Structures are given as structure tokens and as C-alpha cells.
Chain A
Amino acid sequence: MARKWGMVVDLDRCTGCEACVVACRAENNVPTVGEDQAGRGRAMHWIRVERYWEGEFPEARLKFRPVLCQQCDAAPCEPTCPTYASHHTSEGLNAQIYNRCIGTRYCANACPYSVRFFNFYNPVWDKPFHLQLNPDVSVREVGVMEKCTFCVQRIQAAEIQAEAEQRDLKDGEFNPACVQTCPPKAMVFGDLNDPGSEVARLTRSNRATQLLGELGTRPSVTYFEAESWEEGEKDQG
């Protein structure tokens, strides 16, 4: 049975530290756009930590939710692309072929999660910042849509390695950059089609929810909502 990559994000562990955001930027050569462009809403973060306020002071509470490409099965972004730049892989990823992309931006409009990012200009790395680029990941040019790939370069490397050693991939043998770096271990990554994998086990848990699942996108990312502390008594007097 083909692999199907999936992720579980435990919001009860997530502290909103954004280590994942920087890790993703470093791993995937996601460019920085500078203050002016960021001010125009063109900053790129393949994964972002959404924060939402609830209530007013002094009951104001804050909740964090890391949002990355949900790698939907019924991905709205895929059929909208007239050139097949956005398409589905055999391992359940929503792949983006950068050099097939002509920049209609339709996929980004169709994506309910707004996790697709567009190169409004050619990316720049002031020398010698270009030396930090990850050679395993291609750099995208102007007019091209880009997005989270579940660190497909790591997936490929691990699969090739396993094949060379004529063995199966071990669960948790490798992780996307965001999962790997997450200090409170809020993210778990693995093969959903392997019933023994931790991600599959967690996905079966009763805490499992999906982001905008009601839209029928069938996402591969599962969220565990934050829990509340039960046994708190009421204030007396």
C-alpha cells in the first residue's frame, strides 16, 4: 500500500514560539521580502502560527494554531490549475511544480487555508546569505506559486536511503524541519497508511479534529485542540 504522509498538531503542547517558522524558512530557502513588501502582505511563511484572541481583559485569552499546507486529498488548489503545476502525488502530497507554474494564482484563491505563497518579485539574498541556501531545495523565481511540501526533499532522501539499504522506512526515522525542531514536541509526522505509526495512532484518537474539515477538503493534518484543566474548583466567597 502506498504511503500517505500526515501530521498531527497538538495545540495543548504548542507554545507559539515559532521555531517551526524559522526552521521551515531555513530548510526550504523561503526568502525574506523586507519591510516594504511585508507591509504589502507579501511575507512568506510556509508554516505560520495563527494567534486568536478570546474575550476582553482581564479574561483575555490567546490561542495559537500552527497552520501549514493541509495536504488535502480533495484539494481545491489542484483542479483549478490549468497547467497541472499544482497536482497530487502518489503519496498524498499537494505538489507544486515550480517550473510548470505560470502564475494564475487561482490555486491560492481556491485554498481555504491561504497557505500558498506567491513570488511577486525575484527573491534576493544579499551576498553571502546565498551561501546558506539548502542545495536540496530549488529556489523559486518571480511569478511562481510556492507552498509547504512536507519537506519532500527529506522524504525523498529517506526513501532512497531505505531502498538502498533494502529495508522499510522506520516510523519517525525522519521528520519535516518544523516537526524536527518543535521544542514542546507539538507536531508528529508519519505515514497514515501504516496503522502502527504514531501519527496514525494519534489520528484515531478522540481528540482529533480537522481545520475547516466541513469544507470537505479531507486534510492530512489533524489538530488536537488544547484541553482545559478540569478539576478547578470555583472561587469561594
Chain B
Amino acid sequence: MERRDFLKAAALTGATAALDNCGNPEHQLIRFIPEEDLVPGVAEYKPSICTMCPAGCGLMVRVMEGDAEVIRHGEPGLIKMGLAKKLEGNPNHPISQGKLCGRGQAGLQVTYHPDRLRHPLKRSGPRGSGQYQEVSWDEAIKELVSRLSALRSANQPGSLAFLTQTVRGQRRELMEKFLKSFGAPPAVTTELFDDAVLRRANEVSFGRPQLPTFDLARANYVIAFGADFLGTWNSPVAQSVAYGEMRQGRAGVRGKFVMVEARVSQTGASADEWIPGRPGTEGILALGLAHVMIEQKLRRAGDAGHAGSLIEGWSKGLPDYAPPAVEASTGVPAAKIIRLAREMAAHPPSLAMVGGAPLAHSNGMFTALAVNGLNALLGNVGNPGGIFFQPQPPSGKAASGPPTSPKGSFSRVGELIQQAQNGNAPKGLLLYGANPVFTSPSSLGVREALEKIPYIASLGSFIDETSILADLILPDHSPLESWLDDAPESGAIGPVASLSAPAMRPLHNTRAMPDVLLEVAHQLGGEVAAALPWKSYDELLRVTFESYNKPQGKNQAAKPGDFWKTVQERGGVWSSSETASGALAGASHAPAAMLGPEFDGAEKDFPFHFLPYASQMLLDGSLAHLPWMQETPDPISTAMWSTWVEINPKAADGLGIVQGDLVEIASRHGKVQASALISPGIAPDFIAMPVGQGHEYFTRYASGRGANPVAILAPVAVPETGSLAWAATRVKISKVGKGKLVLFAGGIREHPQEGELR
């Protein structure tokens, strides 16, 4: 076989060499025999799964034939292969419904990224120097195995830590099985904007530790407390599709959308009514609305069902939350509160959402529970136009389902750091796409802590602030090159289990993370090998998905082979049944009295609230390495390739700051610099900055660009979950010089007045 290939290759080489020698390096390369038969110019569409954010949209990948430079038999050459050309929404998939956001489409650039790691690497220079040398896969895996077995034989399997990006479904399962059988603690998902608080609250309120699915399409009145549900929060594509229906999808009905936040977000921009409230008082406002509804008999407490028990004194009509009191603490006029409550009650089904900043305060749990209570009072839980909890796929109870660590990732990372500082750092660390160095406040000293760990191996595809510390790198396939499965947490009403075969062959000498784990397990032998008996990841997937093959209603179960085939063609299995929501067990648990937020920093020294927010294009910075994302203008600021600081015109005047000035934002824990952007859409006592830029090492496109607001955040946690309270920091701002804004837009007013020319 090898030999035949070689001969053919040789023959072709001669031909090509003779044909074209026009200086173009590609023409000097030998041509390999195509490994797949493709019709040139004809596009093939293959289902896949979007991994750019945790929403888990279903993709259709447009694959066409093209020439790629690859390495075969250790020799570089050209090969005709199927190449992913475009990502589109999978029309059958219940979450994306044929649609896809910009971030999802930029997923294509992950596969073709010039700085993607192309082969296993072993550190050759000092740690953090980024000096690596290429090693073979056998070598690399052998090394990792020896390290792990050393841990095991030293009887410290427990000191193996695993930090990962959000991973669900069978890959998660595999990870956990691996760690469990090895004797290590479960993997820690490190997300800056983790929704642990809301998951915990939903567990408390409804017995479902997961993010809800919102049935916007059938809602007539929507009030969102800080939830950027059209932009970056929860399942944006599914929510946007539903939003479109809410607005114009139903003849004669146009749902109203009210947004409560301190800075006009991309979502807030679409609101009919935009209400700035004091930070961290959203829960109080929600209960204020509930108060009015009960008091004015717009809804009977009874309607709230068991949720009525959520809040003490519910039956007493929430006496503490009378409009004047609520106005006092939230700053929202009592009259407005009354009107909103009436409107909500008058236009069922009405729906309340909470997410983002309101939950990133010391009182986040209170806020979440309060809004849950409001939803319950509105009687929309599990009902059309309300909130649903998407059933999770049956199998793998152990680790599958929503990645609800009992605690938020922040505190878990915190623990690691604690251990490190107490001198008993983990002996080994596995990294998979997690970048805690970038997504944690610098005052936490994550990097310093990680440096104390003697051995770090990364399974990721890129070198970033965290993986630059790795001693060994075993680069993963890109998602489009891998077998994938996913169990979306929310976005659909029925259960969804997505599956995708590789859409294209690997471009580089990489290996899928699950296969690496299986190989390592195999070589480790013993319990680990026993716990992970599969030869390859797709074998595991097949076993799992065949188990879903049950008679659905009247139609019989399919033949195993056929089922496996159809699942791959459709991109997963799902049912459209809405009754799947399951019973809501609610424990009686409530915040006692009105609970306000606490902030880090005294108001007189740090007059501004600091609001970091997920960048529309770069999210928490994990997409900053994609030129398409860097050059797509932010919807609000229209900025590209850079960081900006949003500040209210009046506040700016007071400080003598004008558009484009370089300003310094200082908290008790550090300072960052970026260019000022004067924006009418932010409260005068707020400073907002997008997260995403400010990478130290993250490919040629993101490195050394902009500033990272997370760095200066106060390391305070939401007590109940230990998630980072990233909205609880106070800052001061000062002008330091002339900055540079890279904006796509010129004017900001549609009809500029004489005063505001440009």
C-alpha cells in the first residue's frame, strides 16, 4: 500500500514538475493521491456542531474540493481533499433552526488558522518562553503516560488536575471517566461568564440545575434583567429566532420587550422600553413588580403554584416591596413600576429573564431567585410563552447533562491557587482550551500558582496565556475535523443530542482529544484502561447513540445500522415534544429580607461602577484569535481590532475626557488603559469595557492588542456558588493621553445637528 502510493506519487511528481514550474512553491510540491473521491466544483453539505460558545447550535458545513498542503509519510505535499468552505445553520436542528450567528460562522477560521498548532510539541526553553520542539505522537503520548503513571505509583493520583473549556456530552463523560478511574478529582470548567448562579437558583426554585429555554416566540411581554439574550447569553441563535417571531411572526400581535440594564447592550438596543436601574437591585425591582401584581389583584398568589413558597411573606403580598420602597433602592420611579406590573399582567403570557451582570453581584442569588419567583407568579413556568427546562439525554447520568459544578469555576480555580500557595500544588495539570490566566483577575495570581505545578500538559489547539506554561502540547483536531457530540443545556424545548462525524480530514498532524485520552488510558492500563474500553471515540459515540434508538410513539425503533446512519445525516437525535419538561420539584428556600449588593472600593475613591461585558464578537476573549471576529465592527461602538472604554457624555465632560482619549481605569486591584468612547447609552456613574482583547499570547492576531478589563476586577465571589462577582468592582478613570479608536462608523446620529458634525 505504502509503496503503491509512493510510486503513484512519484509518477505524479514528475508530471506536475514537468507541467508547471512557475516559481510558485506549491507547484514544487509533490501531489498525493486523493484519499476521498470528490466532484470538483460541487458542494457537499455535512452536519456538524458549533463549539464557539456553549449554546451548541447544529451546523451545516459546505465542503468543496481543494488543494491543501499536508504531510503524508512524513513528506510535505499537495493533496486534493474536501475542505470546509462555509458554516451554515442546520435547518433540522431544533436549536439553530437553519440560522447561525457571526461567531459560529467564524468557527471556520479555527480550522484554517495559521497559528494553530500542527503537531505535538515538547518544551525546549524555559517555562513561558514559548520555545517548543516538534515531537512524534508516540513520543508525546509515551511521555504523558510516564508522567501519569509516576503520579500513580507515587500514590498521588489525586494531585492530577484538569482544567477545561465548557465540554458536554460524551467528551465530558470520557474525561470524567478517565479522571475518576485514575483517581483524580473531576475536571474544572473555567468560564469567565459562567452561569452557576442561575443554575443553582433554578435548582433551588424548580429543581432543575440548568439554564432555561425561553419560549419567546409565543410570549406577549418580555422583561429582561441584564440578560443579553440576543447577543452573547445562553442560546443566542435560538433566542433570536424566537425573538423575531415575538415581534412580527404573529399576525396582529407584537410582543413588548422591556430591558433593565445600566448600559445599552446589543439586546437592550432592540427593547421597546429601556430602564436603567441601580446595579444589583434588579431582584428588588422584580419583587416590586410582584408586589404590585399581588396587591392590585392582577394575579393571585395562588397562581404561583408551589413557587409561591419561594419567597417568605409571599402570601402576605411582599410588604417590603411597595413601589416607593423599591423606587428608593432601585431608582426606578414607582409610577413606572406600577405601569410595568400592570402591562405584564395584562399581556400574558409574559416572561422575565435574568442573566449577566445582575447575577454577578454579591446578591446575585437573591436576584435570581426573585426573578424566578416573578416567573412563577406569572404562571409561565413550563407553559407556552414561558420558561422551559430542556430534558437532558437519558444516558450517562454520571457526568452528562449540564456542567453544573456545585460551585462556580472561579472558586474551583481559587482552590487550586490556595493549594499552590500552601505549597501543596497539584503535581500534574491537564489543560483543554481553558485559559484561567486570562479570565481571572490578575490579583488572584493564577499564573504564579500554575507555575508552581511541576508538570502541565495541554490538549488545546493554540498557545494562549495559560497553555504557554505547558511542558507538553498534544494539539487537538479542529471541531470540523473531529467526531463531536453535544447535549445542549437550553435553547430547545424537547431533548436534543447532537452528533457529527468529521466534516473534513485533518489538515495537520493533530489528534482528537478523546482519542488521545483513550490512547493514554490504554497505555496506562489497569482500572483506567478497564474504565475506557473503547478503541476510538466514535465507537463510544456509536454505542451511546444506538442506546437512544427506542420506539418513538407509534413508529418502531430503526435498524441499528440505519439509525446510526440517519443520526449522522441529521446531525443528532431530538424530539419536538413539549411535554418533556418534566415535573418541577421546588424546595422552599428564600432570601430573607431585601438584600442589596456590596461593591469593592469606596465610592469616594472609586466613583464609577465597572461593567465588563462579553464582547459581541470575541465573547470572553476565546475568539480574539479570529481575524473575522476582530474586523467585524462591534454593533454598538462599531470598533474593530481594539478595546474601548464606554463613558457617558456628561461624566466625560466632567473629567475633561473626549472621544479617542487614552484613559486609565483603576480599581483597588490594578489598572488598565484603553481609548475612551463617548456613548449616550451608559449611566453616568458607570464605566463599561468589553472583555476579549488584551491577550498576552494568543496568535498573531490577538497578541498584544487592546486591554483586558478582567485583570483589574476584585476577586470577590457570589457566596452561594463561589462564582466571580465580576460586576461588583468600583473604579476611577483618568485621562492619560491621546488614544486611537478604530471605528467603522463615522457619525452616531441619523440626523446630525449643527453641533455634532462628526
- CB–CB B343/A233 < 8 A: yes
- CB–CB B114/A22 < 8 A: no
Q: From residue A223, how far is it (CB to closest CB) to chain B in Å?
A: 13
B509 interface contact, C-beta 8 A = no
Measured CA separation A60–B630 after assembly (Å): 27
> Which residue on chain A has the smallest CB distance to residue B84?
A132
Which residues of A (203-233) have their CB < 8 Å from a CB of B?
Answer: 227-229, 232-233
Q: Which residues of A contact B84 (CB under 8 A)?
A: 132
Known contacts A45-B633, A135-B41; is-contact A62 B269 (Cβ 8 Å): yes
- CB–CB B640/A38 < 8 A: yes
B385 interface contact, C-beta 8 A = no
A111 interface contact, C-beta 8 A = no
A126 interface contact, C-beta 8 A = yes
B740 interface contact, C-beta 8 A = yes
Provide the B69-103 mask, 1 if CB < 8 A to any CB of A, else 0. 10000000000000111111100000000111111
- CB–CB B264/A135 < 8 A: no
Measured CA separation A61–B264 after assembly (Å): 8
Measured CA separation A236–B744 after assembly (Å): 42
B161 interface contact, C-beta 8 A = no
- CB–CB B628/A32 < 8 A: yes
Provide the B258-302 mask, 1 if CB < 8 A to any CB of A, else 0. 000000101111101110100000000000000000000000000
Known contacts A17-B240, A51-B636; is-contact A26 B105 (Cβ 8 Å): yes
Interface residues on B, range: 35 or more
Measured CA separation A14–B338 after assembly (Å): 30
- CB–CB B339/A235 < 8 A: yes
Task: Tell which of B106, B247, B276, B649 has the most Cβ of chain A within 10 Å.
Answer: B247
Q: Which residues of A contact B241 (CB under 8 A)?
A: 183-185
A57 contact from B88, B113, B276, B638, Cβ within 8 A: B276
Measured CA separation A135–B40 after assembly (Å): 10
B740 contact from A39, A129, A133, Cβ within 8 A: A39
> Which residue on chain A has the smallest CB distance to residue B635?
A16
Known contacts A26-B108, A53-B680, A236-B335; is-contact A39 B742 (Cβ 8 Å): yes
Measured CA separation A56–B64 after assembly (Å): 50
- CB–CB A57/B99 < 8 A: no
Q: Which residues of B contact A18 (CB under 8 A)?
A: 102, 616-617, 632-633, 635
Binds A, one of B230-238, B361-369, B711-719: B230-238
Known contacts A51-B638, A54-B750; is-contact A63 B269 (Cβ 8 Å): yes
Measured CA separation A183–B249 after assembly (Å): 13
Q: Which residues of B contact A232 (CB under 8 A)?
A: 256, 272-273, 339, 343
Which residues of B (620-673) have their CB < 8 Å from a CB of A?
Answer: 627-633, 635-636, 638, 640-642, 648-650
Q: Which residues of B contact A57 (CB under 8 A)?
A: 276, 648-650, 680-684
Task: Tell which of A27, A60, A228 has the most Cβ of chain B within 10 Å.
Answer: A60
Q: Which residues of A contact B321 (CB under 8 A)?
A: none
> Which residue on chain B has the smallest CB distance to residue A59?
B274
- CB–CB A35/B749 < 8 A: no
> Which residue on chain A has the smallest CB distance to residue B116?
A128
A21 contact from B66, B632, B681, Cβ within 8 A: B632
Provide the B125-137 mask, 1 if CB < 8 A to any CB of A, else 0. 0000000000000
Q: Which residues of B contact A195 (CB under 8 A)?
A: none
B269 contact from A38, A55, A64, A129, Cβ within 8 A: A64
B109 interface contact, C-beta 8 A = yes
Measured CA separation A232–B742 after assembly (Å): 40
- CB–CB A132/B85 < 8 A: yes
- CB–CB A16/B507 < 8 A: no
- CB–CB B87/A26 < 8 A: yes
A101 interface contact, C-beta 8 A = no
Q: From residue A132, how far is it (CB to closest CB) to chain B in Å?
A: 5
A196 interface contact, C-beta 8 A = no
Q: Which residues of A contact B529 (CB under 8 A)?
A: none
Measured CA separation A26–B681 after assembly (Å): 31
Q: Which residues of A contact B585 (CB under 8 A)?
A: none
Q: Which residues of B contact A229 (CB under 8 A)?
A: 254, 256, 272-273
A43 interface contact, C-beta 8 A = yes
Q: Which residues of A contact B100 (CB under 8 A)?
A: 19, 23, 181, 183
Q: Which residues of A contact B86 (CB under 8 A)?
A: 26-27, 134, 177
B631 contact from A32, A134, A227, Cβ within 8 A: A32
Measured CA separation A52–B750 after assembly (Å): 6
B274 contact from A53, A61, A63, Cβ within 8 A: A61
> Which residue on chain A has the smallest CB distance to residue B267?
A15
B9 interface contact, C-beta 8 A = no
Q: Which residues of B contact A48 (CB under 8 A)?
A: 633, 744
Measured CA separation A15–B264 after assembly (Å): 13
A233 contact from B69, B334, B339, B748, Cβ within 8 A: B339
Q: From residue B632, how far is it (CB to closest CB) to chain A in Å?
A: 6
Provide the B207-246 mask, 1 if CB < 8 A to any CB of A, else 0. 0000000000000000000000011000011001101100
Measured CA separation A64–B628 after assembly (Å): 21
A87 interface contact, C-beta 8 A = no
A10 interface contact, C-beta 8 A = yes
Which residues of B (142-188) have their CB < 8 Å from a CB of A?
Answer: none
- CB–CB A60/B681 < 8 A: yes
Known contacts A56-B680, A181-B105, A183-B244; is-contact A32 B627 (Cβ 8 Å): yes
Q: Which residues of A contact B266 (CB under 8 A)?
A: 15-17
Q: Which residues of B contact A134 (CB under 8 A)?
A: 85-86
- CB–CB B99/A182 < 8 A: yes
A60 contact from B106, B264, B339, B632, Cβ within 8 A: B264
- CB–CB A15/B339 < 8 A: no
What is A's interface to B at a CB cutoff of 8 Å? Answer: 10, 12-19, 21-23, 25-27, 32-35, 38-39, 43, 45, 48-58, 60-64, 126-129, 131-135, 177, 180-186, 227-229, 232-237
What are 18 A-B contacts defined by CB distance under 8 Å? A12-B248, A13-B244, A17-B616, A19-B102, A22-B103, A38-B742, A45-B632, A45-B633, A55-B680, A56-B680, A57-B650, A58-B683, A61-B269, A126-B114, A127-B114, A132-B108, A183-B100, A233-B339
- Extra contacts, 15 of them, besides A56-B680, A183-B101 (Cβ < 8 A), are A15-B240, A23-B105, A35-B630, A45-B744, A61-B269, A62-B264, A128-B507, A131-B66, A133-B85, A183-B241, A184-B244, A185-B244, A235-B338, A236-B338, A237-B338
Which 6 pairs, one residue from A and one from B, show the smallest C-beta to C-beta distance?
A: A184-B244, A183-B240, A22-B102, A62-B269, A235-B335, A35-B641
